[in-house]
Copies of this chain bind each other. A is one copy, B any other.
Amino acid sequence: MRLKLYELVGANDRRFSPYCWRVRMALAHKKLPADFIPCKFTDKHVIAFSGQTKVPVLVDGDDAISDSWAIACHLEDKYPDRPLLFGPGHGRPLTKFFNSWADSEINPVLLRMVVRDICDCVDPVDRDYFRQTREARLGRTLEEVQAERPVYMERLQQLLAPVRTLLENHPYLCGETPAYADYILFGTFQWVRCVSPLEILKTSDPLYAWRERLLDAFGAMARQHSFTG
């Protein structure tokens, strides 16, 4: 039975969730076709069957798995004969560290840089929900947070320094070919790319060329999704 991925959708059918992009890239890496089912922030009833309140949710036969990391582990374990997401040996725990690091350090900084822009991109019925939940979490208005973008931009560039060292000798974070750690960070960059005209990378940054390579991957699947797209 064909896989189903419930994923976040904004206005104009825009797919921008960083966590859903991780899974989209992982499915393509594993060469697993799937149906993508759009789900707004307030469409909690659509995924209620899974016992979850957040996308992504993957349905694979009788299994309904939520959380992008759990989904990646499910795909790796259930389809071990397909291209590996983590590689052998220490690959999985080290990728898990990268995943937790991106979630706790990178994504919160980038959220603050584009949170007002995101509000314009969510489906109109989600706007009040998005503003209320995010302003409660951030303790300020979306406008106040995003106004500090230059401070976050500086912090972001510092945080990305250890990632850049990986691209000194190889085209991907995982070496000669991309794997799940690449998709983790790519999902974050793709999120920003889909919700804001903000360019977070200079063209001279090795991460810029790396992101270009991943935009071209899998038949340029991700490139067609963008802020202007």
Interface residues of A (CB under 8 A from B): 84, 86-98, 100-101, 103-105, 158, 161-163, 165-166, 170, 173-175, 179, 181
- Whether A101 touches B175, Cβ cut-off 8 Å, given contacts A94-B95, A95-B90, A181-B90, is no
User: How far does the Cβ of A8 sit from chain B's closest Cβ, in whole Å?
Assistant: 24
Instruction: Give complex CA distance A86, B170 in Å.
Output: 17
- Whether A84 touches B89, Cβ cut-off 8 Å, given contacts A100-B165, A104-B158, A162-B101, is yes
A94 and B165 form a contact (CB under 8 A): no
Instruction: Give complex CA distance A87, B92 in Å.
Output: 11
- Chain B residues with CB under 8 Å of A158's CB are 104
Instruction: Give complex CA distance A95, B158 in Å.
Output: 19
Query: Can you give 28 A-B contacts (C-beta < 8 A)?
Result: A87-B88, A87-B89, A87-B90, A87-B91, A88-B88, A89-B175, A90-B95, A90-B175, A90-B179, A90-B181, A91-B91, A91-B94, A93-B170, A93-B174, A94-B94, A94-B95, A94-B174, A96-B165, A96-B166, A97-B98, A97-B181, A100-B162, A100-B166, A101-B101, A101-B162, A103-B162, A104-B158, A104-B161
Instruction: Give complex CA distance A100, B162 in Å.
Output: 5
- Chain B residues with CB under 8 Å of A89's CB are 84, 87-89, 91, 175
Residue of B nearest to A169 (CB): B93
Of the candidates A86, A94, A95, A98, the one having the most CB atoms from chain B within 10 angstroms of its own CB is A94
User: How far does the Cβ of A102 sit from chain B's closest Cβ, in whole Å?
Assistant: 9
